[in-house]
Amino acid sequence: MKIRFLLVNALLFAAITVFAQQPSKTQSSAQKLGTALYLIDNFYVDTVNLDKVVEDAIVASLKELDPHSAYISKKDLEKANEPLVGSFEGIGVTFQLIRDTITVIGPTPGGPSEKVGIMAGDKFIKIDGEDAFGKKVDNEYVQKHLRGKKGTKVTVSVKRGNDKELMDFEIIRDKIPLNSINASFMMEKKIGYIKLDRFAQDSDKEFKSAMEKLQAQGMKSLILDLRSNSGGYLNTAIDMVDEFLKANQLIVYTEGLHSKRQEWRSSDKGMYTEGNLVVLIDEGSASASEILSGAIQDHDRGVLIGRRSFGKGLVQRPFNLPDGSVIRLTTARYHTPTGRCIQRPYEKGTEEYYKEMTKRLEHGEYFHADSIHFPDSLRYKTDKGRIVYGGGAIMPDIFMPADTSFNSKLYTNLVRKGILNRYTVDYAMAQRDKLKGQFQEFSQYNNKFQVTDAMIEEIKKMAEKEKVKWNEEEYKRSEKYIKLQIKALIARNVWEMQQYYEVTLKEDPTIKKAIEVISNDKTFRKLLN
């Protein structure tokens, strides 16, 4: 008890010392908090985990401020930063848990698993001699057993296809890159396509590399796909916008009560400042995605196609706490070059804020552009005098309704039960050599491969075993999309993730519209004037 007494008093003293130079109101609040902790620790009826009480108090306090201020414990910090830092250490496989078994979707190209011969479709039955299947196996289990420090070893026993004997592989863990570009390839009519998943530490380097390859292949126009890109680092977004703008154009500025206005402008080093540009956005495009699309729109540099973006325009700055945890505190707001505030309102509280997407669906916004209304008081003008609106989020120049072709209970259940994944993994495993022999180039597969009725019958049998009712009316409604997904998933399992996008984008209505717009110089220029 004496030690705990000293600890709480030390905490109280530290809080008072930190705020000693602050206004008296802040001092009073710090003293009040310290006193409350002292009373709980010394007079509460039961034993209390004081660390948890403090963490819960911080989390609750931040929720009262805005939806994006957050507390991250020391334990969770590395995991939270991982997608943006852009790498981790492990064996290098993309996997899915199919029937409580770790099934390899594909090894990371050049990674440790590929080097020893791990293939898509392999099932990990044992890890370091221990059974690695069953109810105990979840994502946390996989990370705990397969990730680890670079240079350490792990042995996996693999079941491959119909082989009765398990195959043992010794894998030496290494640094595995987390690429933020999912796909980059040439489409028709000298149009390049880049799918950016997030704005990570090395995204600009990846982007430049992809652009150089596309330009070497004769690219004259670019479609940049930011749909479902939830953002990332501000500096990465600024660096990427810089590739599109001419010198000294305002990219974004931030401002807050305790943060003076700070501006970022373009340099004269942009590698794509002239060609036609289309940026795709939707309700999942947030933060850094909105900084980029807002700057492109305000400077009339390109055409935005899709649906209204998420509306996250709050700047978070990390503050380290004494125990190694971090508070990511909102300190300013993002504004586009015209002055539009990207952040949508959150005065009704965090819970209501996150119901916004459901409300958009209920209001019909995903399907009808005329369901979206902006007040005249939030009207702004782009460089060429086009009208754009503030009030949170970025509204595209061309609205595209959500695709409902996959909207059936049957398709949802086929995905939810993992039936499409299991079928395509097994099919790719059995037919890989045949497919690669039949289709020397992937483009041949993309143009000629057809999902047959016999394949659908096999999936139907799998569905029956999983007690998924096969409704013919629902199947006919989603038939085209189901077959497209089967073809794309097979492509991913035989080749790589990029080939998945090459298949699905051929039937994507938003991509078709983007190609139509970007291919016609007259239409393109008219939209920007």
Question: Where in the sequence numbering do the catalytic residues fall?
Answer: 287, 298, 312
Q: Residue 118 and residue 167: Cα distance in Å, rounded?
A: 10
3-state secondary structure of 138: coil
Q: Are 281 and 306 in contact (CB under 8 A)?
A: yes
β-strands 167-172, 181-186: how paired?
Answer: unpaired
Q: Residue 112 and residue 92: Cα distance in Å, rounded?
A: 6
Provide CB contacts within 8 A for 401, sequence distance 6+. 307, 366, 367, 368
Q: Are 380 and 388 in contact (CB under 8 A)?
A: yes
Q: Dig out the tokens for 353 from the structure.
A: 């804020």
Q: How many helices (H) and strands (E) does the chain have?
A: 19, 21
Kind plus residue range of the DSSP H or E element containing 281 = strand 276-281
CA distance to 74, 86, 175, 292, per residue, from 89 (Å) = 19, 11, 4, 31
Q: Residue 174 and residue 163: Cα distance in Å, rounded?
A: 29
Q: How many CB atoms lie within 10 A of CB 55?
A: 16
User: Residue 94, CB half-sphere, CA atoms under 13 Å: how many?
Assistant: 14
CA distance to 12, 105, 333, 421, 483, per residue, from 469 (Å) = 62, 27, 49, 18, 18
CA distance to 80, 185, 206, 214, 349, per residue, from 195 (Å) = 23, 9, 11, 13, 33
Residue ranges of the alpha helices (H) in 196-272? 203-216, 234-242
3-state secondary structure of 22: coil
3-state secondary structure of 431: helix
